Chain A
């Protein structure tokens, strides 16, 4: 597709369950970001992948959060044992190597009940 695609667009899960959020970046983009945005709030950085370099995981809030990027393309953000405070919109973005214009997906709205 032409843009960054995220799935699902909405996810409701019970507290304590694990969830997986998927991001398909723009083809050829080597950089991929995950951000979290709570209602009316700013963009909280979670993790950054750049090519074959080790990912920058400095924004992951706890060890319940993990992400991987397979084959330099699709990325999955996994949240284990979800808590109510994990409820937010999770945004994925990608960019070309040296050009840091980041293109964002529409986000996945996660609700933990």
Chain B
């Protein structure tokens, strides 16, 4: 119940294209869903997060779509750029109880110029 499943494992997109990464969870008590971005040699950094009271959140080229009934959420990167090439992790937690973050397995995104 604590697992968060992420797909695909790797993704190659052309510059200007849309990158889509999907995550699914089992624990209906989860109420906080962040996405982290990690560049080689660096620690992951928070990119964008959503809570289940909304179905979509957009920040610049990055959008999270959230489907509570399906227990799924996804990250969309519009107009993907080579600088977006990184590993992306979804995560989930029960924020109200201060529980730890549970991370997905990660997606290695490559944006070709």
* Residues in A lying within 8 Å of B, measured CB to CB: 4, 31, 33, 35, 40-43, 45, 48, 50-51, 56, 91, 93, 97-107
Main secondary structure of the interface of A (DSSP, over half): loop
Check if B73 is an interface residue, CB within 8 A of chain A. no
- Indicate which residue in A45, A100, A107 contacts B95 across the interface (CB closer than 8 Å): A100
A35 cross-chain contacts in B, Cβ below 8 A: 103
Within 8 A of A (CB), among B24-49: 32, 34, 36, 41-46, 49
Check if B61 is an interface residue, CB within 8 A of chain A. no
- Indicate which residue in B45, B89, B100, B101 contacts A42 across the interface (CB closer than 8 Å): B89
- B residues contacting the other copy or chain, number (CB 8 A): 24
State the total of A-B contacts with C-beta under 8 angstroms. 57
B93 cross-chain contacts in A, Cβ below 8 A: 100
The answer on a CB contact under 8 Å between A104 and B44 is yes
Given contacts A42-B89, A45-B103, A100-B93, contact A106 B98 (CB under 8 A): no
A45 cross-chain contacts in B, Cβ below 8 A: 100, 102-103
The answer on a CB contact under 8 Å between A106 and B42 is yes
> In the complex, A50 Cα to B36 Cα: how many Å?
21
The answer on a CB contact under 8 Å between B103 and A91 is no
The answer on a CB contact under 8 Å between B105 and A42 is yes
B46 cross-chain contacts in A, Cβ below 8 A: 101-103
Beyond known contacts A42-B89, A93-B43: 15 more, CB 8 A cutoff: A31-B100, A33-B100, A35-B103, A40-B108, A42-B104, A43-B106, A93-B44, A97-B98, A98-B98, A99-B95, A100-B32, A100-B95, A103-B46, A106-B41, A106-B43
